[in-house]
Structures are given as structure tokens and as C-alpha cells.
Amino acid sequence: MSKQALSPRDQAALDYHAEPKPGKIATAITKPCTTQAELSLAYTPGVAVPVLAIRDNVADAYRYTGKGNLVAVITDGTAVLGLGNVGPLAGKPVMEGKGVLFKRFADIDVFDIEVEAESPQAFIDTVSRIAVTFGGINLEDIAAPHCFEIEAALQQRLDIPVFHDDQHGTAIIIAAGLLNALELQGKSLAQARIVCLGAGAAGIASMRLLVALGAQRDNIMLVDRKGVIHGGRDDLNAYKREFALATERRTLAQALDGADVFVGVSGPDLVSREMLAAMAPRPVVFALSNPVPEIRSEIAREARDDLIMATGRSDYPNQVNNVLGFPFIFRGALDVQARSINREMEIAAVHALRGLARLPVPAEVLQAYGVETLEFGPDYIIPKPFDPRLIDVVPPAVAKAAIASGVARAPWPLHYPAQD
């Protein structure tokens, strides 16, 4: 990027990352170390005592080290934001940014790790060998379909949560907002006909979660660059084939004709006014391509005055933002030393987020967003990221599901509210 090509906003972004110290995250000392006695406890000879304790009981690592509050944010750089395969090093600012969000919203420590891997198996082997350091692993910006193989292999190998946020984080926020939107539109998930444009990590994971929540697989039509995913295609990987339908529809326009729901996780300006007009009465439109949605909000609202719409943008109502999910989901998982983040925990997060949107909004949230009022309705179907109640609502729901489903190693945390 040349200096001449930089806009003021681009320059401000570079300055933010460069000054007064390069990068966005750093390590911190959590214990005093100002005297000889403290030094002897922090390192030799005192450090030998917890070493021997952990040797004899590996669970003591959660007691005597930072493992239980430490997440690795790991990428191979193959699908960074909307920029594609920029490589692991170029992906580092994004991984550091993820660390900022973990710390800011859930007080979770992060090491960002960028891996040069020549194959999915090399990536899997690398992550497996270093995983003992961490209480959880957040996979980030890994291209489909390899991301599915990588996550599944690591989940099988490791006894700590492995969570690909581009899959499950996106799916959880979509599901929470969609359930609320459908209710407001007088429709049910079980009966809704859903079209998903984008058959990568986010699209497939979102449709899988909706099926787990009650959507009918035969009512879900997945569309990729080549059109509707149907049983007659011979170019489908195993993940797309999972959603192949027996249908005569072939184009996005044909798929959207009469659909109740559109979920876009693809690219800009791919849905026309005419496609939107052909959807069923009271449609739900989640156009999540960012910064330019699949159909722009202004066009969508001109074409349909009966829709509920969400985007990935913060300057429109109903932003689908993963920061509503991953910090709080990991917080709940770490607080009970979960071995995984399973489907039960994901569903618990969905319902916690869904329920929070129905509660009266505190004044501090209104002030943060510069609005006079927010209440559950077409323009407020999911909570705002700066809602301070997220940390009180989502982690306990996730922790409760972890305990109930048998993946927790620790009991209900004492600092959590008493269970019902």
C-alpha cells in the first residue's frame, strides 16, 4: 500500500496500529515481583513447587498457571476478513484485534499464533503440539473446506474447547436474531423456507445450527457461486452435499421466490430489488456481507416495507456482530474448565442472546449508541455489543449447559449467580 493511495481513514488505521507502540496487545505481570523474596517465588527456587504439583496432578495447571484464562487465537491466513489468502503474517493484525476483543469484553488473555502450514494436516499437528499451553483455542480466518477438517480433527484430539468463530460464532448470532425476527413476523423456524447465499464456513455452520434448533433441512436451500446446491451437481464437497436438495430451482432468483428467510454470507450487491420483491410476505433478510451487503438496506426497505433486516454493519439496525458471542462463550467454557464447546452450549448461547434482546435496555447502552430508546422490535432483535449485561447472561448459560452435558471439569463458579 503506497503512501499516495492512503485515505485519511486508512492512515488513521495505520497510525492506530503503529503508535505509541507497535501492535494492539501485550503481556502483563499478574503478581508482585519487586523484592528478592518475591523473585524467589516467581522463579527459582519457588517455581519448582508448582512444577512438581502439576507433574503429579495435571489439573493443578489450572490452579497454579494462567492456562485456565488463556486462549490461543490461531490462523493460517487463508481467509482473512474479506481479503482472502493474505498469508499468516499479514493476518496478525486481525488476530491481535481478536485478542483485544477477548480481553475487553470478557477479561480473557490471548496469545495470537500465526502458523505457516503447507497442508491442513501440518496445521493440525502444529496446533495439537502447542495446545497444552491453553485453556481454549479459537480458530480464525481459515478457508473452507479445510476449516471443517481442521476443527473436527482438533476437537477429537484435544481436551480443551476448539471453536472456529467464523463458523459457530457467526451461526450463534444469526440464530439468535433470526428466532426473534421470525417471531415478530408471526412465523416459525420449523415452517420457514430459508435461502442461504454462501456455502462456506459461516453458511454451512449457520444452517447446521438452525437445523439443530428446529429448522427442516428440506426447507433450506443453499446457494453458492454456481447456483442452487442440488442433488444433480457433481462438483459438491461433502459439506455442501449435506444440504443438496432434489429441486428444479437453479438460480438465486428462483431460490428466493416465495422464501421466508434470506441469509447472505457471500458478497456485495448479489440480491436485486426484484428478487426481494418475490419473497414471501413479511420476509426476514440477513444481508451480512461487509462492508457492502448482498442488498443495501435502503434498496431493501424501498422494495419491501414488511421486512425485518439485519446486516453486518454498525451503522444500520440489527448488526450481526460476532463479538456478541465468542468472548462470552469462551468465558463460560473456561470458568467450568470445559473440555469442549458442544452443541448444547451453542444453543444455550443462542437463547441467552435471544432473551436479552427482549429485556428493557439500560440507559448506559442508549448513551453508548446515541439513541433515546431501544426496545424489542423490528429494529432491535439482537443485543448491542456494548451491553454490559452480556457478561452476566451468556457465560452462566454456557457454563450451565457445559455442566449439564458432562463436558465441565469444574463445578458451578462461586462468583456466578445461584442456579435456578
Name the band, by pLDDT with cuts 50, 70 and 90, for residue 63. very high
Residue 8 φ/ψ, nearest 5 degrees: -55, -35
Mean pLDDT, residues 101-129: 97
The residue from 3, 21, 31, 43 that is catalytic is: 43
CATH number of 16-160: 3.40.50.10380
Task: Read off the C-alpha cell for 276.
Answer: 426481494
3-state secondary structure of 335: helix
The residue from 92, 98, 240, 384 that is catalytic is: 98
| Residue 240 a catalytic site member | no
Cell 417471531, residue located: 183
* pTM of the entire predicted model: 0.95
Mean pLDDT, residues 242-265: 97
Distance CA 258, CA 365 (A): 37
| Residue 369 a catalytic site member | no
- Give the pLDDT confidence score for residue 153 in this predicted structure: 98
Please provide the DSSP assignment of 185-224 as one string: TT--TTT--EEEE--SHHHHHHHHHHHHHT--GGGEEEEE
Using one digit for the tens of pLDDT, what is the confidence trace for 209-220? Answer: 999 999 999 999
Using one digit for the tens of pLDDT, what is the confidence trace for 282-314? Answer: 999 999 998 899 999 999 999 999 999 999 998
* Residue 66 CB partners (closer than 8 Å, separation 6+): 30, 109
CB atoms within 10 A of CB 168: 27
Q: In the predicted model, is pLDDT for residue 2 greater than 80?
A: no
Task: Read off the C-alpha cell for 397.
Answer: 448459560
- Give the pLDDT confidence score for residue 419 in this predicted structure: 81
Q: Are 275 and 253 in contact (CB under 8 A)?
A: yes
Burial of 60 (0-12, 13-18, 19+ CB in 10 A): middle
Domain residue extents for the chain: 16-160, 322-404
